[in-house]
Structure formats: C-alpha cells, structure tokens
Amino acid sequence: MSKRVTHILHCAVCDAVVSEPVSLEVEDDLPFRRPLKPAFPKGEGWVTMEPIPQSKWNECRDLLYTNYVFMSTESLAEDVADTPFKDRVRGCCGPSGIDGPNKVCKCGNHIGTESRDCWTAWEFKVDPTATYWEVLQ
Ligand SMILES: [Zn+2]
C-alpha cells in the first residue's frame, strides 16, 4: 500500500519556495525501488524508508540514504541554481552527486544533491536538514 500527497518544498533558511508541487509517495512495500534512467517523472517523488545505496556500484555502497526524498531535478523552482563550489559538480557526463549538496536556493543555502551522471541514477535528493515540506492537499 502507498499513497500520494502533494507537497511543496521550502528553504529552511529563507522560507522561499524551491520546488514546484511534488506528489510524494511513501512506499510501504520494501525494498524501495527507484528508477535509474530515465529520471523520476517531473512532479513526483519517493521517500526512502530503509537505507539504499547511493549508486549501483559496489564501491559506493557505504553511501546510504534514509528518509530522503528523491525526485526529478526538473521539479525544482526555476531560481534554484548550481552550487558555486565547482568540486561538488564533478562527474563523467554530469554531476555524480557524491561530492556533497550541489543545488542552492537563491539565498545561497544548499538544499540538496543532483545526480545526473552516466553511472548514477538521475535524481535530486532533498536535504531534510536544509529544507521543509508544506502539505498542499
Ligand atoms: Zn533560501
């Protein structure tokens, strides 16, 4: 069983809206499954309830996420920008996302991490310590 509820993401520092409306689905059926490529559909997100690896490669199994929202980068607000820290957007064909949060609110607060490399899932991981969700319906 699972259900979807529409939320909107805010920056925890300046309260700005940093996403479009996102329908969040909480998966009760474990293990959590996430699509690799193509990325999550725009406007939809999933919440991890158990630790999952950051990538499909063995060497990254120690990078685990729990209670993170995964969603499409396309669901972010238009004024969300890339981090000024260039070492956080390294990757082969795009940002791998293993170097730390790489998307910033207009106030400069890092709100989460985009992965969009050839060897990673294509997704945005919301940082729950830098943001909060407002329930729309
Ligand atoms: Zn902000």
pLDDT digit string, tens, across residues 8-66: 999 999 999 999 999 987 665 544 455 556 667 888 888 776 665 555 444 444 455 66
Query: How many CB atoms lie under 10 A from the CB of residue 25?
Result: 15
For the chain, give the percent of residues with pLDDT over 70. Answer: 74
Taking the centre of ligand 1 as the mean of its atom positions, its distance from the CA of residue 111, in whole angstroms, is: 8
**Cα–Cα dist 12/109, whole Å:** 8
Number of H helices, E strands in the chain: 0, 11
Taking the centre of ligand 1 as the mean of its atom positions, its distance from the CA of residue 130, in whole angstroms, is: 9
pLDDT at 21: 94
pLDDT at 66: 61
pLDDT at 18: 98
Task: Name the pTM for this structure.
Answer: 0.81
Taking the centre of ligand 1 as the mean of its atom positions, its distance from the CA of residue 69, in whole angstroms, is: 18
Taking the centre of ligand 1 as the mean of its atom positions, its distance from the CA of residue 47, in whole angstroms, is: 22
Taking the centre of ligand 1 as the mean of its atom positions, its distance from the CA of residue 29, in whole angstroms, is: 34
Which letter does DSSP use for residue 76 in this model? B
Residues forming beta bridges with residue 3, ordered by sequence position? 26
Residue 90 Cα distances to 60, 69, 111, 133, angstroms: 16, 22, 18, 28
